Amino acid sequence: MSFAVVNPSTEQVIRSIELASAEEADAAIAKAHEAWPAWRELAPGRRAELLRAFADEVDADLENLARLEVANSGHTIGNARGEAGNVRDVLRYYAAAPERLCGKQIPVAGGLDVTFHEPLGVVGVIVPWNFPMPVAGWGFAPALAAGNTVVLKPAENTPLTALRLAELAERAGIPSGVFTVLPGLGDVVGQRFVDNPVVRKVVFTGSTRTGKRVMAGAANSIKRVTLELGGKNSNIVFADADLDRAAAAAPYGVFDNAGQDCCARSNILVERPVYERFLERMEPVVRGFAVGDPARESTEMGPLISAAHREKVRGYVDGAPVAYTGSAPQGPGFWFPPTVLAPIAADHPAVTEEVFGPVVSVLPFDTEAEAVGLANNTEYGLSGSIWTRDLARGIRVSRGVRAGNLSVNSHSAVRYHTPFGGFGQSGIGRELGPDAAEEFTETKNVFISTEE
Ligand code: NDP
């Protein structure tokens, strides 16, 4: 079975990709399992060297990878270069892990007690279409570093950069079977990662609905899971904030990647005395947002991923109160303009659900407690921002909002050297940061008697 990969900016087919069957997925998993002992037993320094060589190949291919992502996913060329660079950096960061996966020596009576971080075996990484390169790297780099082998399924509509990464791994000398990319359908290949007991961990990024299925399926073989699911994130702007900075930054906190970002700050909560002023100051930024050909260096936002997804996004805006919009090209391509909804009821679906498009709702609030309550009025808990000049309030509110990743006076992007993940139905586990390689290991405790 084949799949026609479409350029979302032009609606043209760019390549036809063979989708793996369930049997092919099982064969790839078996091959990864065969490759595991040799990879696990490789000297830590050698595994590190191979990961650095992989990073060098990614670096040398950076422009090609970026252009592939522009064509396949409609990401702006600037973002796509950053995403390819992120894969390189994540590989380099975790290349240091094989030699630093230190256990502990724990004081005990009558002997020596030490812990080891043992790799799990085959790890399945399931990647969504919104960030094909970074999300792949966040899974495979620490998993490989910790001595696991990896099978990776890109989203069916965005497989091109993952397939290229597999070629680059091979070129870097990563042994056959250690890192395998399998384009295929979620309920065929993804489901085999969940159901095949040889896979010992699944790293899944995507919708909460599918994440629940993955977790339920993983329970059958007590398979480890890391889940990075949806988000409904608030950008809280207090009256004492630098309003110009907050208003200039807010659109970038939600419209980046056309809003197809689980961290998108798609609710802006503004303290009532500055509500109107904030909307006024944000308007020129939204109207001036450069939406168009993602290959152009100056473009700030490309198209949505597909016609079906555009219809889903449109559903949130139809009948909703639109304060103002930016522009979007006419003609072919899955375009949608940056859209600001205000004034809007707190129970409108655009306010309560993950829109995953360039749509932001702006709501007023009166007290700090009300702002925190509004931000927490969601089953998700992934990210958010707080704008204030009051440091104590910045700390108080960032402790009060139930989410895994918060920023004060910025909409900081995910950093590969800090942990990333969600509270509540935004997921389970943390990716990235100094401890991610350990998430791909089991701790083994060994007691050695020193009695004569
Ligand atoms: P999904 O969660 O269905 O897809 C994410 C990944 O999971 C894809 O690789 C998909 O494969 C795979 N998958 C699908 N079904 C299964 C299964 N039964 N077992 C294992 N893997 C499976 O998200 P959608 O693409 O359908 O997007 C729907 C909505 O989800 C979006 O509108 C957005 O709101 C949210 N979303 C959130 C993301 C995030 O970053 N948190 C990322 C993507 C979506 P395939 O695509 O090949 O079917």
Please report whether residue 437 resides in a domain: no
Pair (190, 49) in one structural domain: yes
- Same domain flag for 181 and 296: no
Q: Which residue has the tokens 């059958």?
A: 220
pLDDT digits 0-9 by tens, 46-104: 999 999 999 999 999 999 999 999 999 999 999 999 999 999 999 999 999 999 999 99
User: What's residue 412's pLDDT?
Assistant: 82
In this structure, is residue 422 part of a structural domain?
no
Please give the tally of structural domains in the chain. Answer: 2
In the reported structure, the alpha carbon of residue 217 is separated from the centroid of ligand 1 by a whole-number distance in angstroms of 16
Q: Determine contact, residues 211/203, Cβ cutoff 8 Å.
A: no
Same domain, 202 and 139: yes
- Active-site residue, from 57, 83, 228, 431: 228
pLDDT per residue as tens digits for the range 172-210: 999 999 999 999 999 999 999 999 999 999 999 999 999
83 a catalytic residue: no
- Which residue has its alpha carbon closest to ligand 1 atom 10? 186
User: Do 173 and 268 fall into the same domain?
Assistant: no
Burial class (CB in 10 A: 0-12, 13-18, 19+), 367: exposed
Same domain flag for 279 and 399: yes
DSSP, residue by residue, 302-345: ---S-HHHHHHHHHHHTTS-EEEE-----SSS-----EEE-S--
> Considering the domain boundaries, does residue 182 fall inside one?
yes
The verdict on 354 and 225 lying in the same domain is: no
The atom of ligand 1 lying closest to the CA of 153 is 9
**Within a domain: 449:** no
pLDDT of residue 413: 82
Give residue 391 CA to ligand 1 midpoint distance, Å: 38
CATH assignment of the domain containing 398: 3.40.309.10
Beta bridge partners of 285: none
Does residue 150 sit in helix, strand or coil? Answer: strand
Q: 431 in a domain, yes or no?
A: no
**251 and 297, same structural domain?**
yes
Q: Is residue 445 part of a domain?
A: no
Angle at 396 between CA 393 and CA 402, to 5 degrees: 130
Distance CA 360, CA 264 (A): 9
Is 248 in the same domain as 325?
yes
- Residue 162 is assigned to a structural domain of this protein: yes
255 with 340, same domain: the answer is yes
* Among candidate residues 203, 229, 255, the one where a domain is terminated: 229
Cα gap 312→307, rounded to integer Å = 9
156 is catalytic: no
Domain ranges, residue 282: 234-408
Task: Tell me: do 160 and 271 sit in the same domain.
Answer: no
**Cα 393 → chain centroid:** 29
How confident is the model at residue 104, as a pLDDT? 98
Residue 37 alpha carbon to ligand 1 centre in Å: 32
Question: What predicted TM-score, i.e. pTM, was given to this entire model?
Answer: 0.97
Last residue of one domain, picked from the residues 188, 205, 229: 229
The enclosing domain of 137 has a CATH number of 3.40.605.10
Mean pLDDT per 10-residue interval, the chain, length 452 residues: 96 97 98 98 98 99 98 98 98 98 98 98 98 98 98 98 98 98 98 98 98 98 97 98 98 98 98 98 98 98 98 98 98 98 97 98 98 98 98 98 97 93 97 98 98 92
Residues 150 and 253 both lie in one domain: no
Domain end (from 229, 261, 276): 229
Please list the residues that pair with 236 across neighbouring strands.
Answer: 269, 386
User: Do 240 and 225 share a structural domain?
Assistant: no
Answer yes or no: is 379 within a domain.
Answer: yes
For residue 88, the model assigns a pLDDT of 98
